[in-house]
Amino acid sequence: MTTTNPGTSAAGFTPIAASVAAYEQCKQEIETAAKGPVQQLNADVAFAVRVMLTVAGNTQRFLPDLEQLGLTDAKNLAVRANALSYSQALHDWTLKSPARVDVLAAEVMEARRVLNSELELIQLRGLIAKGAVTLQGTTSHLAMAQDVRAIASAFLANWEQVGGQIGNNIDHVHAALVSADSLIAALAQGR
């Protein structure tokens, strides 16, 4: 028989309000920890929270014995699990928004369209040989970003010859590279 933890119903469901309350309760501890070096996690946070809550429930009846052994953190396990769950929800909401990838992909798609048109012009004028820039040509996000990088790198490497032919505006080339790099980073981080 296990007793219910604060913020957990008899069925084991943790309401959002309990997670928010737990987060607020642990906020000082979280902020202090965030000031130090933060290590990248490679764990499934939802799974970790379930394990923590299971352990918290299973150790309830042993808390007095654990405290005698100096293991006082066991009584805070359920609260920390709920705080972790809410922290992860905040992180997912702010950093893993699919809209961010979609917005970046739209920017990169437009940059690729413009740069590709300029590349064709430069190739017709014989300033960069046809086939010197290898493009992926597909519409995947990664392929579009790689195409932008390839074209922009070719332009920058030959700027003295090609710059005047495409309006001498190096800023749009740099902006395209920034968009491509941002998209690749967002894809790598699952944002």
Give domain limits for the chain. Answer: 16-95, 98-188
* Average model confidence (pLDDT) across the chain: 78
Question: Taking the complete model, does pTM exceed 0.85, yes or no?
Answer: no
Query: Would you say 145 and 176 are in contact if contact means Cβ atoms under 8 Å apart?
Result: no
Q: Is the pLDDT of residue 178 over 50?
A: yes
Quick one: pLDDT at residue 28?
Answer: 84
Query: Would you say 165 and 120 are in contact if contact means Cβ atoms under 8 Å apart?
Result: no
Query: Would you say 83 and 17 are in contact if contact means Cβ atoms under 8 Å apart?
Result: no
Alpha carbons 55 and 34: distance in angstroms, whole number? 25
Q: What percent of the chain has pLDDT over 90?
A: 7
